[in-house]
């Protein structure tokens, strides 16, 4: 369902119930799109990996398991790439979840992480 606030379809936020995320990503009409799962908003790109390019919480809610619930659902179905992590709390989090740190060509670039289906 498209967000009624959006003036243009390509900028719409698709609102999802938590257990609909993997299916909605697969059937998305655009290769890049904003998705909203509960209070978590994610900008995702779908090829060749599922790339989380941006994420935010609507009410500034952090540390409540929103990202964990989303990743628990999509990781079994997709190779996941996390782009430019600027929140230092998330660096250890992604490593504990089994993500690999991707070396960046320049030291000033934020870290990126990848988890490949085994």
Domain residues for the domain of 31 are 9-115
In this structure, is residue 19 part of a structural domain? Answer: yes
Report how far apart, in Å, the C-alpha atoms of 55 and of each of 8, 51, 82, 107 are.
Answer: 20, 11, 10, 23
In this structure, is residue 1 part of a structural domain? Answer: no
pLDDT tens digit sequence for 12-55: 455 555 556 777 777 777 788 888 877 888 899 987 889 999 99
Tally the domains of the chain. Answer: 1
Q: What is the pLDDT of residue 14?
A: 53
In this structure, is residue 4 part of a structural domain? Answer: no
Q: What average pLDDT does the segment 80-84 reach?
A: 94
In this structure, is residue 103 part of a structural domain? Answer: yes
CATH code for position 98: 3.40.630.30
From the list 36, 27, 34, 26, the residue with the least C-alpha distance to 9 is: 34
Q: What is the pLDDT of residue 54?
A: 93
In this structure, is residue 2 part of a structural domain? Answer: no
In this structure, is residue 92 part of a structural domain? Answer: yes
Q: What is the pLDDT of residue 51?
A: 94
């Amino acid at each position: 369902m498209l967000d009624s606030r959006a003036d243009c379809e390509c900028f719409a936020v698709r609102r999802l119930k938590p257990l609909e995320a993997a299916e909605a990503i697969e059937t998305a009409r655009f290769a890049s799109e904003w998705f909203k799962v509960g209070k978590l908003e994610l900008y995702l790109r779908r090829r060749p990996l599922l790339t989380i390019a941006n994420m935010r919480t609507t009410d500034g809610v952090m540390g409540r398991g929103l990202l964990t619930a989303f990743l628990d659902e999509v990781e079994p179905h997709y190779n996941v790439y996390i782009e430019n992590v600027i929140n230092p709390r998330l660096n250890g989090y992604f490593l504990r979840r089994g993500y690999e740190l991707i070396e960046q060509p320049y030291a000033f670039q934020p870290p990126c992480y990848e988890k490949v289906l085994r």
